[in-house]
Amino acid sequence: MKNIDPRTPIWRLTVEEFLEVSKKINSEKKYEFGLKGLAKMLGCSISKASEIKSSGLLDDAIIQNGNIIIIDKEKALALFAQK
């Protein structure tokens, strides 16, 4: 893996270097937090998001400890699409 100076303009990168940099950016996991985050992600109301969460449909994508809810976006959307 080649170290790329972060100050290098994009137009000076080769396609290979650009793809390497973009993979790093896209590989980060994306999370939403709480019922508000779930509602925003699904485009519904908070009460509907609570209903969907309670149904168990997204259990594999949700981590909950007390009142704290963390949702893995990619996994949740994949599970929701299987419905």
Delimit the domains of the chain by residue range.
31-82
Using one digit for the tens of pLDDT, what is the confidence trace for 31-68? 999 999 999 999 999 999 999 999 999 999 999 999 99
Q: Classify 70 in phi/psi space as left (phi over 0), alpha (psi -120 to 50) or beta.
A: beta
Q: Which residue has the higher pLDDT, 28 or 8?
A: 8
Contact 73, 37 (CB under 8 A): no
Does pTM top 0.75 for this prediction?
no
